[in-house]
A = this chain, B = another copy of it.
């Protein structure tokens, strides 16, 4: 006994704990996993915030709740959560369920690893290495480097900082103070993380020069060149072009080859935000959408989107293999990255990261890839794109779908309250709101496309 605390023996009741896990797993299996392919279930059980607060017992108290009560809480959490696994969840750039990545995620949650040193995460570091190598092959680089990190936005930040380091390594120590304005270029249809990154990295959002796009949302290379020339004339320092392969709203692929020409001409780092579109590289039929990507210096690619690897699964990939990533990011913490270890410390990759603890996100992609093979992944991409094409043809056949644009918020409210499907809407370049239909999951079929159109008609018929 020390400080009034009894120290002999553990204070956890592992038998009761294990039983609780078993019972909860049964609920997870029945209420989430087995219902994932059931279109008769609701996508969401909509409740307004104040109502939901009353339904859930959110308060944390001094004493704990019984297992019975906790299991009921778990049921409630599941009931009122959106079923992103549902075949008719089309609301975001992720959807559906992959059983293999799910198993991988259960394993890592149970093992609770952090991926920074080989001694703590031997398997997950080797898996990450293997996955990054394979992704680099699909990009078409002969060699490269990379790191999994928490999201496409963070990947874009990594790339922006890396391009800056390449442009002027001294910034790492000296900072930006006293330097000329660094300027980067991206299309006006780019993801909003570009602005967030420029602000976070001290570059400033005004130093993101937005390049005009064509009517399909693709960056116009001639406009890019004009902007670069403008920046040079102003005396600022252009250092980076961020092209997009699969824009967030329109799904447009910037013409990478032409953009790469301009980057070469003006000696600019080319980063491709392929967070959404990168997975098309897996498809021999559709990889041409990213033609020229092998000329990029860095690529962000999120297998948690089109490939269903589970949130989050995002890699930043870098063409450089001379250690640029590590030089740019390392802080050489002596307590973690000891150099007198008994094994090859080049496997301690944590110092490439802006994080300290880091999740083994490559593993879920790896297990899924092992299970489906490249062919299975390719099938997912091909089918998603074929379904999208089917939908376009069907929309053309239906009268009245143009008009619907103006009533998107009302149709959205009705579908949420009914829980029949979830589909996002947004305005685009001064045009009114339109629905963005995202097709990802292999559970989705032609029937769901037809349902989507029928349901929008039904929900909007009195408008």
User: Does the CB pair A367–B443 fall under 8 Å?
Assistant: no
Q: A residues 1-20 with Cβ under 8 Å of B?
A: 2-5, 7-12, 14, 17-18, 20
User: Does the CB pair B374–A60 fall under 8 Å?
Assistant: yes
Select A383's contact among B11, B196, B412, B442, beta carbons within 8 Å: B11
- Residues of A within 8 Å of B, CB-based: how many? 184
Render A268-299 as a binary contact track against B, CB cut-off 8 A, 1 for contact.
00000000000000000100000000000000
Q: How far is the CB of A167 from chain B (nearest CB, A)?
A: 12
User: Does the CB pair B112–A310 fall under 8 Å?
Assistant: yes
Question: A442 to B11, alpha carbons, bound, how many Å?
Answer: 5
Question: In the complex this chain forms, how many copies of it are found?
Answer: 2
Query: Of the 9-residue stretches A256-264, A334-342, A454-462, which lies at the interface with chain B?
Result: A334-342
Task: Find the B residue at minimum CB distance from A170.
Answer: B204
Flag whether A347 is at the interface (Cβ < 8 A): yes
Select A28's contact among B47, B78, B110, B443, beta carbons within 8 Å: B110
User: Does the CB pair B112–A109 fall under 8 Å?
Assistant: no
Measured between beta carbons, the chain B residues less than 8 angstroms from A73 are: 367, 370
Measured between beta carbons, the chain B residues less than 8 angstroms from A354 are: 153-154, 157, 196, 200
Render A241-265 as a binary contact track against B, CB cut-off 8 A, 1 for contact.
0000000110000000000000000
Render A214-256 as a binary contact track against B, CB cut-off 8 A, 1 for contact.
0000000000000000000000000000000000110000000
User: Does the CB pair A383–B202 fall under 8 Å?
Assistant: no
Flag whether A209 is at the interface (Cβ < 8 A): no
Select A100's contact among B20, B37, B56, beta carbons within 8 Å: B20
Measured between beta carbons, the chain B residues less than 8 angstroms from A5 are: 382-383, 386
Measured between beta carbons, the chain B residues less than 8 angstroms from A375 are: 62-64
Task: Find the B residue at minimum CB distance from A161.
Answer: B200
Query: Of the 9-residue stretches A139-147, A397-405, A421-429, which lies at the interface with chain B?
Result: A421-429
